[in-house]
Amino acid sequence: KAELDEIQKLVREGMVNAITFDTTIKSHDLTWIQNGVGNFEYLLNHPHAKCFNNKFKDCPIIIVSPGPSLEKNIDLLKDVNGKAIVIASSHSLQYLNERNIIPDVILHVDPNVKIQNYFTGFEMEKVELLILSATTAPEFFNLPAKNKAWIYANAYFDNWLMELLDVEDFTLYGSCVSVAALKLAYMWGSKKVALIGQDLSFGE
């Protein structure tokens, strides 16, 4: 019985994952291909984010996501001032902009160019590092951040591009931008990671 229960659990997880991936691929498949081809030159001319691996072992990292709880502690970010690296998902920029908070790193993985409104009015030239996914809209590589690097957002969908670029680091994919940010913090070697606004779509 225990073995059957375990098999049922694995089958359920497999079905959910298959449905999720299938839905995502169907909604973005052509966009991913077009963006990947359009970004090829940018990917050759900017470093992969793995160049920062194990470079921040003694530095705390704060990951900012746009969940409703962000309102409770967003103002504390004003006092960070070099005590930690602040990685903000692009979805949280509108909230940071309202309080004149500039994160050290912005991470953007969405393939859709319509999401560009998150960057509208934000002082990108003050951002130390903009990290983009390999298959995001090419327009984002023109944003005026001080430095740019890239990851591939999801190994399941972007591996064709990674094979062309001879990149074998499959650790930096994630199901969402917050997961990708957490994996970056881990790969960068930080021993202290705080997440704020991580409740995302959950309410009360």
- Of residues 200 and 117, more confidence is placed in 117
Query: The whole model's pTM is what?
Result: 0.81
* 41 Cβ contact partners less than 8 Å away, ≥ 6 residues apart: none
pLDDT in tens, 151-197: 876 655 667 777 777 776 655 555 678 888 998 999 999 999 999 99
Eight-class DSSP state of 191: S
Question: What pLDDT, in 10s, does the model give residues 125-141?
Answer: 999 999 998 888 899 99
Summarised one tens digit per residue, pLDDT across range 135-158 is 888 999 999 999 999 987 665 566
Answer yes or no: are the C-beta atoms of 166 and 146 closer than 8 Å. no
Alpha helices in 79-202 (DSSP H): 93-98, 155-165, 177-187
